[in-house]
Structure 1
Amino acid sequence: MARDPDTIQREIEQARDALASTLDQLGTKASPKRLVDNAKNSARSKFDEPKVKYALIGVGVLVGLLVVRRLFR
């Protein structure tokens, strides 16, 4: 099936534009700044949960007590 050169050229341009758009979207999603921001927000929301917050406080107190105990032995 023969196609005229103008149609082929137009299809190539459309494919090129679609590829450029996809690459731009991937670049935005995979940007290091955005990934860091997402990780920060995820960690903050995890630490704001009462279970995690109080568990970390408990671990900190326990480690502190163990350090003080070692110092005074």
Structure 2
Amino acid sequence: MARDPDTIQREIEQARDALAATLDQLGAKASPKKLVEDAKVSAKSTLDDPRVKYALIGVGVLVGLLVVRRLFR
């Protein structure tokens, strides 16, 4: 059965609008500024975890002690 040209045109316009909206959403998600901001938030939340914070402090103290030990040998 043949479809009405106006119906086909409307469907094409709806598909085009949906595609444009999807591309806008992808562009916003892939924005370098957004990616950097997301990475900052992720790193900050990871470093705020007490287990990570204290492990990094321990590693820093160990490295500091090794450096001091190496200097005074």
User: How many angstroms does 1:9 deviate by?
Assistant: 0.9
Gaps spanning 5+ residues in structure 2: where? none
Q: TM-score, normalised by structure 1?
A: 0.92
The alignment yields a C-alpha RMSD, in angstroms, of 0.9
In the comparison of the two structures, how many residue pairs are matched? 73
Identity within the alignment, %: 85
Cα deviation digits, residues 15-70 of structure 1 (max 9, x gap) = 00000001111111111111111111111111111111111011001001111111
2:42 corresponds in structure 1 to: 42
The 4+ residue runs of structure 1 with deviation greater than 2 A are: none
Q: TM-score, normalised by structure 2?
A: 0.92
What is the CA–CA distance in structure 2 between the aligned matches of 1:64 and 1:56, rounded to whole Å? 12
Counterpart of 1:13, as a letter, is E
Matched ranges for 1:1-73 at <5 A: 1-73=1-73
Gaps spanning 5+ residues in structure 1: where? none
What is the CA–CA distance in structure 2 between the aligned matches of 1:10 and 1:57, rounded to whole Å? 63
